[in-house]
Every structure is written in structure tokens, then in C-alpha cells.
Structure 1
Amino acid sequence: MIKYRNILVVIDPTKEQQHALSRAAFIAQHEDVCKLKLFLSIYDFSFEMTTMLSADEREAMRASVIEQQQEWLNELATPYRQKGLNIEVKVIWHNRPFESVIQETLDFGHDLVVKGTHAHPKLQSVIFTPTDWHLLRKCPEPLLLVKDHAWPEGGNIVAAIHATAEDDEHLALNDKITQESVDIAAMIGASVHLVNAFPSTPVNIAVELPDFNPVEYNDAIKERHIKMTIEHGEQHGIAENQLHVKEGLAEEVIPQLAAELEAKLVVLGTIGRTGISAALIGNTAEHVIDMLDCDLLALKPLDYVSPLAQP
């Protein structure tokens, strides 16, 4: 089975170790036909502001920088090419890295975007949305955010689903998350664990309704989530001892289980919330990524259209 054919690898010029490249190469080595594109988006505002140079001179300087960076990317690619991997390199001049990555994905049909990631300062992230968050919200293809660790044979993958979803979009996304996890597990010899978080009983309900029994309510909610999780697991051939239904917020439950299982990858869906709702509510993937010690693969709904693709 060929899972990925055309992987876009986002290179970070500030890092000595390119974990995204290592991970993409690992995946490509497990595929029969797969090509990689090492992609670097660069920009220097001082080049645009200087008044001492003509437009042609500024363009020549930009071209020189791009050429130097292409040479560096080719150096990064050399040891992997020697192993037989098909690798292309590309450098562009762009002042919004996330837009350049998404546009490249749209223009050249990449089916996986791989990028290194790191913890993001919370206050700074509210004011200046990190590139990773923009990609989580707007990248139309699977986005693999990589941290510094290996994917050993026999490891664990955590697939986070919303088991009690009733609308077609979320049900289809559940299937996509689980199937993607199963496919990757088959490729690298890993095991898939499903996790479903369910909310605690709101305290205000018990206060406002004297006859309300929070224990019975909580048990009923948990029982329903367990039932739906088992049904979903059966549809995808996942054993009951690899199903986890836990009370709490998804952004807390998912990292906790990933740590317990020493998971190497978490797979979840992101609906791409943007604007005011993203600033006030956020997306689960954004909250989870900084709490994980492993990689995160974020998937969009089947009919998702990136804002950058809209006319």
C-alpha cells in the first residue's frame, strides 16, 4: 500500500538538526514510490526597505540569497539521495511562511506536509499566531508536526476521535483519523490506540436542579461514550484493550494518554477554526501540540477547503 507519494518537507534555517527531513525520509523509505521536496521560505525586510539600491539590484541580491539557500538544501539532501530517495529542493522569497507552504501544497499536489515544531509561548501566541498554528488551521492536507525522537518498530499511535458525533462531517472525520492511524501503523509496525474524551458533569446543573443526580448522569454519559467507541473500534479492527474512554477535556486527556503509552504519534482532526472563535476558543490541536513529547498528525474534514484556495 502506498500512503504518501508527494511529501513537502518544511525546512527551518534556524535549526542545525532538521527533524522534519529525518522523519519524511523515514516515511519515504517505507514507501514504494515517494518523492520529497525540501521547501524553504525566506524573507529579509531590510532588502525591501533599502533606498540605496535600485529595484534590479535588490532583485539580484534576493536571487543570490535564494541560490545560496538552494545550495544548502542540496547539501542536506545529498546523504538521502545517496540512499536512493527522490528529492527536489525549492527556495522562495515570501514574507508569510505559512501562506507559502499552503500555496505550494495546493499548486503541486503534495499529500503530506512535514514540519519540525517546538513549544510556543502562550501570551506571544495569542498576539502573534505561530506558523504552526496557521498551518493547523488552514493546511488542506495532512500536517505532520515533528519533535526530536525516533519512530521505533512496535511503538504506539494514539488516534483521538469524537465517538458520539452525530453529524456526517464529524463521523467521516472519525473514520479518516482512525484509518490514517491504521495505515501508518501497518507501514511502520505500530499499534493503534483509540482515545475518546467526554466532559465532566457541569456543576451548575446540580446546583440549579435539586432533583438532578450527577452520578447517574455521569455514568450514563460515560456508558454512551464507551458504547460508541467500541462500535467505532470494531469497524476498524481495533481490539477493546486498545480503546480508552476518559473523562476530561480532550486537550488534557490526549497528552496524558500519549505519555502513559509512550506514543510516538498522535493523530487527530482539526476543523480549521479561524478568526475570533480561534482566538477565544482555540483548536484542540493547538492546545495539545505543546503538551506532547511526540509527533502530531492533524487531519482536516474530507470536504475542507483552505481559505487560500478560495477565490
Structure 2
Amino acid sequence: MKLQRLLVVIDAEHQQQPALQRAVDIARQVGAELHLLKIEYHPSLDGGLLDSHLLDRAREAILRQSHEALRASVAHLSDEGFRIEMDVRWGKRRHEEILARVAVLQPDVLFKSTHPSNALRRLLFSDTSWQLIRRCPVPLWLVHDAKPRGQSLCAALDPLHSADKPAALDHQLIRTSQALQAALGLHAQYLHAHAPLPHSLLFDAEVAQAYDDYVIQCRREHREAFDKLIGQYAIDRAQAHLLDGFAEEVIPRFVHEHNIGLLVMGAIARGQLDSLLIGHTAERVLERVECDLLVIKPDGKG
């Protein structure tokens, strides 16, 4: 994983910029260049009674003022020697503007601050973070708080691909974690959570009698697959954790108990219909964790 070109979304609605702070911290360590993107939008200037010429002038004035304010806010970084480029643009659908900039710039990582959301907002397409989780083709670093929670990262793996992930994605997650460990000095942990079918869902009496054997076999298969995956890399066994339970419950608990600062997860896009559904493991986990989340897509897929 490269860390040379970092694209940071500047939040126009909040004064605090955790994503910028995280990107600056990383750029300071590895000498990366920073590209800042700020998107402005005001409904009152989206049509209405004013003619188009006046609307264009009003938008241009807002963009100019916003650009000047952004430049002033990061002047101390320029003075420190950071390489910074800024882009301020107008857009109602922020995620589309962000993805358009990603397509042109091809950054190594996209940084964005994340804020509490809810199911209804996601269903109505109104939260940018959820759209980016599904559609961003480059690694997406969602920043929870300006101050890092800890100096450890955790990669959530799925060696049996029960979440319908391609097998190569687990290897990407491991390689990414190892690269971050080397570049940023983070201590890497590797986690796989698995859960057999609940006993209450087994209505067949004969199958129910064999449930204990099923649970033992299920854990054995997950252990063998996890050990095989981890064994292909120089990973200490103390760093590898196989835990029982559903990922959306186990992972946040592990993050809290081990003071994890960055959770590395894989995500796949399943088409436009998926944008209507709530259920991605990455999304359910993000609602519960109190650390940064790095979302990785399969190579060559957005």
C-alpha cells in the first residue's frame, strides 16, 4: 500500500477536521503530498426565482471565499513544508463529487471524517460515508476522532468467505496491514470472527441432535482456514485471533478491549440494488466501533 498521494475531504459543515489531522500526521511520517477537496452547497442557490447568471455569480463568490478560507486555515502546513493542493467545488451530491475527484487524481488513500448516522439517512442516500464505503475504488480511511485511539491496527479477515468476499481480498488486507505497520509503526493484529447457525434455527430434530458436532466441525474448519491464511505470512501466532460470535458484535468488543486505533476491513460492491439495503458488515461495524476504519476493495474493483 502506497502512502504518497493523500486525498482529504474537508468537511464544510464542521469546524473540526479529524480527517485532515490524520492525513497530516501520516504525511509528516512518510513525506506524502496532500490534496484537499471541499464541497460547498446551499439549497437556496439551487434554482429558484433568481436568474441563472445571478445564481452562477453567487456560487462563484461562495467558492472563492471558501477557497480563501481553506488556504488560510492550512497556511501553517505550507509553511512547515507540506506539499498541498486545494480544490473547492460546488455539488449537491457530495459523494459523486468526491468520486469524480478520485477518478481524476487516483490517490493512494481517501480520508474522510465520519459522523454518527442512522438507518433512515442511509436509506435516503443522504450520508456520504455510506456511499463511499460501497463505491470508492481506492482505500477509504474514515477518521473517527482527530486524536488516534491507539497505536495498534486490526485486520478483520474472512478466510472462508462467508461474507461473499473474493479470496484475494484477505491477502490484500494482510499486505495493507503489514505495509502500515512498517510505514507508520503500528502494531498489527489479525482477527477472524465466526458464528455457527443458532441452535434455535434448527427445526429438524435429527439435525438438532447433531448440533454439538456441527459446532465443533464448524470451528475446526474456520481454524484450519485461518491458520492456513496466516501461515503464508510472517505473522506471530500471538497476533492472530479466532473468536466466536457475529462480526458486528465481536469486532467492536475486540477493538475496545485492545485499544485498537485502526480497523482494516474489506468491502465489495454488489450493484445499484445494494445501495437500497442496509447490511454490509463494514457498515454495521462502523456504527459500533470507536476507532478509524480503513475500507479496502478488491484489486481492480470499485
Task: Report the TM-score, using the length of structure 1 for normalisation.
Answer: 0.90
Q: Which one of the candidate residues 46, 49, 60 is aligned to 1:48? A: 46
The CA distance in 2 between the partners of 1:274 and 1:284, in whole Å, is: 16
The match for 1:57 is: 54
1:201/1:214 contact within 8 Å kept? no
The match for 1:113 is: 110
The match for 2:37 is: 39
The CA distance in 1 between the partners of 2:169 and 2:201, in whole Å, is: 31
Any residues of structure 2 matched to 1:172-183 within 5 Å, and which?
A: 172-183=168-179
Letter in 2 for 1:138: R
The match for 1:94 is: 91
Letter in 1 for 2:185: G
Letter in 2 for 1:16: Q
SS of 1:235 mapped into structure 2 = coil
The CA distance in 2 between the partners of 1:36 and 1:299, in whole Å, is: 20
Letter in 1 for 2:192: N
Confirm or deny that 1:5 pairs with 2:1. Answer: no
| 1:92 Cα deviation from its structure 2 partner | 0.6
The match for 2:157 is: 161
Deviations 1:119-177 (A, max 9, x none): 1123333334411000000000000000115347x821110011123999622100101
Change over 3 Å in CA distance of 1:13–1:167 after alignment to 2: closer
What residue ranges of structure 2 are gaps of 5+ in the alignment?
none
Any residues of structure 2 matched to 1:120-139 within 5 Å, and which?
A: 120-139=117-136
| 1:209 Cα deviation from its structure 2 partner | 4.0
Q: Which one of the candidate residues 284, 289, 293 is aligned to 1:292? A: 289
SS of 1:207 mapped into structure 2 = coil
Letter in 2 for 1:12: D
| 1:279 Cα deviation from its structure 2 partner | 3.5
What residue ranges of structure 1 are gaps of 5+ in the alignment?
306-311
The CA distance in 1 between the partners of 2:205 and 2:73, in whole Å, is: 64
2:123/2:277 contact within 8 Å kept? no
Change over 3 Å in CA distance of 1:77–1:118 after alignment to 2: same
1:162/1:170 contact within 8 Å kept? no
| 1:201 Cα deviation from its structure 2 partner | 2.8
The match for 1:272 is: 269
Change over 3 Å in CA distance of 1:65–1:166 after alignment to 2: closer
Any residues of structure 2 matched to 1:217-236 within 5 Å, and which?
A: 217-236=214-233
SS of 1:210 mapped into structure 2 = helix
Among all aligned residue pairs of Structure 1 and Structure 2, give the percentage whose two residues are the same amino acid: 30
- Between 1:177-186 and 1:208-217, the stretch displaced more is 208-217
Task: Report the TM-score, using the length of structure 2 for normalisation.
Answer: 0.92
| 1:229 Cα deviation from its structure 2 partner | 1.5
The match for 2:194 is: 198
SS of 1:224 mapped into structure 2 = helix
The CA distance in 2 between the partners of 1:55 and 1:280, in whole Å, is: 37
| 1:227 Cα deviation from its structure 2 partner | 2.0
Deviations 1:274-296 (A, max 9, x none): 44445345211111112111000
Change over 3 Å in CA distance of 1:157–1:202 after alignment to 2: same
The CA distance in 2 between the partners of 1:209 and 1:277, in whole Å, is: 36
The match for 2:13 is: 14
Change over 3 Å in CA distance of 1:180–1:296 after alignment to 2: same
Letter in 2 for 1:155: Q
Deviations 1:22-56 (A, max 9, x none): 00111111214x2111101111221132323x322
